[in-house]
Amino acid sequence: MSGTRSPSKTAPLTESLWKLGLILWPFVAGAVAINVFLFGLILRSTGRFDAIPPVDALLWAVPLSIPASFAAAVWVRNLIREAEGGPPPIQQQKENRK
């Protein structure tokens, strides 16, 4: 029976923030590393600090990218829900309280 839909709808992979965050983590970590490195260059321009080496920026990016990937996952999930025509999660929570 091609063309029929199954009554059991499975949630897409992007519905879980953990899974979406793990998918986005390498890209977020790279962006955080670049920002840390550029922040070191800005500090160097003040004349008070040395520049942050790229390897140190990569090491600092590992712990700093965890909250950043969570924020990116929330943002991307909201974009996906908006594209699918569903209400944003905050509006959905307000409707459930009524």
pLDDT 10s per residue in the chain (98 long)? 455 555 556 666 667 889 999 999 999 999 999 999 999 999 999 998 999 999 999 999 999 999 999 999 999 998 888 888 876 666 666 666 66
* 10 is a domain residue: no
pLDDT for res 19: 92
What's the rounded Cα separation, in Å, for the pair 73 and 79? 10
* 64 is a domain residue: yes
pLDDT for res 14: 65
pLDDT for res 12: 66
Q: Are 76 and 82 in contact (CB under 8 A)?
A: no
Residue labelled with tokens 């600090």: 49
* 23 is a domain residue: yes
What's the rounded Cα separation, in Å, for the pair 36 and 39? 5
Count CB-CB contacts under 10 A for residue 36: 19
* 48 is a domain residue: yes
- The structure's pTM equals 0.72
How many domains, in total, are found in the chain?
1
Torsion of CA 75, 23, 16, 88, to 10 degrees: 20
pLDDT for res 83: 87
Count CB-CB contacts under 10 A for residue 46: 7
pLDDT for res 54: 94
Residue range of the domain that includes 40: 15-92
* 84 is a domain residue: yes
